[in-house]
């Protein structure tokens, strides 16, 4: 009886009542889970020279990571996960503009922190595979574990168009799934459908630039690689 009372007091003490704080923490945890699983799938593929994973398994990990993230925070913050989606919600007046920079900051911070967790998880594999040199290009590059880089043949213009189209397909698909006037997705399965949407985009539009579609997912990890020793080349 005493332990139950102590547990209730502890729960009451730790309970966060501020709605914005709850949403930010939920978004932080959801993006952390998203990036942790996504980058781990990429790390497993790169550091094993595709003997324990390939582009398909990495794309599948990223899509399933979206599902996990939405289930994690969907009921609290709406699981935006992506500044582009937060912006779209502002434009259709379903999200207040004053929250937009807060969510973007939280999403980017979560991606940065999660990149650190992946680096710790795959530290030995990264250093073994790279022969002790952290590079963004060459046969033993490891920067692509964390951020996306365009193929050698892709121009800046084509890369820009690639990301505009890919992100637009993502946003239109999400809005269609959320639209109650459309054929409804069975309740509770929305995250699964969104994961399938992400997977369909990845396997059809991923060859040019790696299909990031998410500024926080790309910039947070890219910033981490700069801090962790890959150097300024990660921004070139």
What φ, ψ does residue 76 adopt, rounded to 5°?
-110, -60
* Number of other CB atoms surrounding residue 162 within 10 Å: 20
pLDDT for residue 4: 67
Q: Which CATH class is domain 18-235?
A: mainly alpha
Where are the chain's structural domains? Answer: 18-235
Instruction: State what percent of residues in the chain have pLDDT above 70.
Output: 97
Instruction: State what percent of residues in the chain have pLDDT above 90.
Output: 81
Does residue 16 have a pLDDT over 90? Answer: no
pLDDT for residue 17: 79
Closest CA to 40 of 163, 122, 107, 144: 122
What φ, ψ does residue 130 adopt, rounded to 5°?
-85, 0
């Amino acid at each position: 009886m005493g332990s139950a009372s102590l547990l209730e007091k502890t729960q009451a003490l730790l309970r966060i009542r501020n709605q914005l704080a709850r949403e930010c923490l939920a978004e932080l945890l959801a993006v952390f889970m998203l990036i942790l699983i996504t980058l781990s799938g990429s790390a497993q593929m790169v550091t094993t020279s595709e003997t324990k994973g390939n582009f398909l398994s990495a794309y599948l990990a990223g899509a399933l990571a979206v599902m996990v993230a939405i289930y994690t925070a969907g009921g609290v913050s709406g699981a935006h996960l992506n500044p582009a989606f937060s912006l779209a919600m502002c434009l259709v007046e379903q999200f207040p503009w004053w929250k937009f920079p807060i969510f973007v900051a939280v999403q980017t911070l979560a991606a940065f922190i999660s990149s650190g967790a992946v680096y710790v998880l795959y530290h030995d594999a990264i250093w073994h595979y790279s022969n002790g040199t952290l590079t963004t290009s060459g046969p033993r590059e490891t920067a692509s574990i964390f951020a996306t880089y365009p193929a050698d043949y892709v121009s800046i213009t084509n890369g820009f168009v690639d990301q505009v189209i890919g992100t637009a397909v993502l946003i239109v698909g999400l809005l269609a799934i959320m639209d109650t006037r459309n054929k409804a997705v069975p309740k509770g399965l929305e995250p699964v459908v969104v994961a399938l949407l992400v997977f369909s985009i990845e396997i059809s539009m991923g060859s040019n630039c790696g299909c990031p579609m998410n500024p926080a997912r790309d910039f947070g990890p890219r910033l981490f690689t700069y801090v962790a020793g890959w150097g300024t080349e990660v921004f070139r």
